[in-house]
Amino acid sequence: MGSVSLKIGDGTARFRRATLCSSAVNLLMLFSVLTTNLFALYAFTSSPKSHPFHQTHKNISLISEQVSLILREIDSSQKKLVQMEKQLLGYENIDLSRPNIANELKIFLQRHQLPLGKDSRTGITELVASVGHSCEKSVDLLSEYMSYKVNGLCPDDWSLGQKLILRGCEPLPRRRCFAKVIPKMGFLSFPVSLWHNVSDKVLSWSGIGCKSLACVNGKKLSKDCVGCFDLGNWNENQRYVKARGKNDFLINDVLNLGSGGIRIGFDLGGGSGTFAARMAERNVTVVTATLNIDAPFSEFIAARGLFPLYLSLDHRFPFHDNVFDIVHTGSALDVGGRPEKLEFLMFDIDRILRAGGLFWLDNFSCASDEKKNALTRLIERFGYKKLKWVVGEKINGGEKPEVYLSAVLQKPVRV
């Protein structure tokens, strides 16, 4: 008999069918019951041929104690088996019995029976909700996030949700409230909107230190975003069409390298969406992965008529295998920490890129030769063809030049 379980371990819903593990548990329980009955039958049917009354009474008491002990052992074993099964399946790690847990969180995480019983195609009997595995470590913040008035306005707490995402609580649970609405007035039609600065009033500034585009343009938000919210700025307006150095590739040159044409792409950490805008001018649809770190990136990209995808780089990309013609990234590839972290990211990039597709590494900062060599060795493991490969130095506001790597690589056909 199948069932469904909430798999908190990898942040996704897992449907549990009847497995060898569950069958073994059932057989063990059946064996325990049969063994107990046989012991009891033996205890009450067998007796010594000639013993005094007090000896018989003593034997019965001893047998009763042994039966009780066996029953306790069976009960303990059953509890251990249930616990082991839960640990193996990885669900029910969030303790909803804790005090101060929001009722909406309990409702969202409840498993729901299928109305017509077991599904014949998938074998599932229940549906469960997806929630990030690290939510358990931030359950107090998660409960605060899920504390709201049902059918009312959501609290102005998107920054709280983003904090949970950055702590690994991704995906977040759904909510039954209405998000804050900001009037979107003054938008221009596409493609004029690609290079039109929007008003501060159409963007949400809650949870952000700056309250205007002028403020964020005065900050270095990242290596890929210095003044990137000023679309009239030469550095932003001329990106990908005029090179500032040998590490800057022109977008038309890269597109000409594409085998079978470039139609759809994915940009990791794409700043204010300028790469997607340049591709849109060439009839290429690009999805830009971003978060609102210190600036309203997602809303600004959408205001340009482009597609922002609100997720962290630790999230498995929500795309099927081999779908993109081009993947573009720069400093977003610098995930730091252990080398395995970068490997996980690179393998996921490789997964969504089609054979013959292009991986454009755009001005990746190599703080040391060791870092550059480690990245080079990792790229070589994938067997990509190096269509363009340039290592050069640039001075970014400091006296000491920094080493940058830019490359266009082509994914091979693997059999």
Tens-digit pLDDT profile for residues 115-126: 777 777 777 777
Tens-digit pLDDT profile for residues 142-166: 999 999 999 999 999 999 999 999 9
Tens-digit pLDDT profile for residues 218-259: 888 887 888 899 998 888 889 999 998 889 999 999 999 987
**Closest C-alpha to 290, from 319, 268, 320, 315:** 268
Round the average pLDDT of the chain to a whole number and report it.
82
Tens-digit pLDDT profile for residues 91-116: 456 777 777 888 888 888 877 777 77
**Closest C-alpha to 116, from 130, 108, 127, 128:** 127
Rounded CA-CA distance 12/17 in Å is 16
Q: Is the whole model's pTM more than 0.95, yes or no?
A: no
Distance of CA 217 to the CA centre of its chain: 29
For the chain, list the domains and their CATH numbers.
90-181 (no CATH), 200-411 (3.40.50.150)
Runs of H (alpha helix) within 195-258: 213-217, 234-237, 251-255
Residue type, 32: S
Sheet architecture: strand order including 324-329: 307-310, 285-290, 264-268, 324-329, 353-366, 402-410, 385-394
Note whether 307 and 276 are within 8 A (CB): yes
User: DSSP strand E in 126-251: where?
Assistant: 126-127, 220-222, 225-226
Distance of CA 362 to the CA centre of its chain: 24
3-state secondary structure of 400: coil
Rounded CA-CA distance 155/177 in Å is 9
Q: Is omega for the bond preceding 115 within 30 degrees of 0, making it cis? A: no
Residue 94 makes CB contacts below 8 A (sequence gap 6+) with 8, 109, 131, 135, 136, 139
135, burial (CB in 10 Å: exposed 0-12, middle 13-18, buried 19+): buried
Residue type, 240: Y
pLDDT for 14 equals: 41
Note whether 129 and 174 are within 8 A (CB): yes
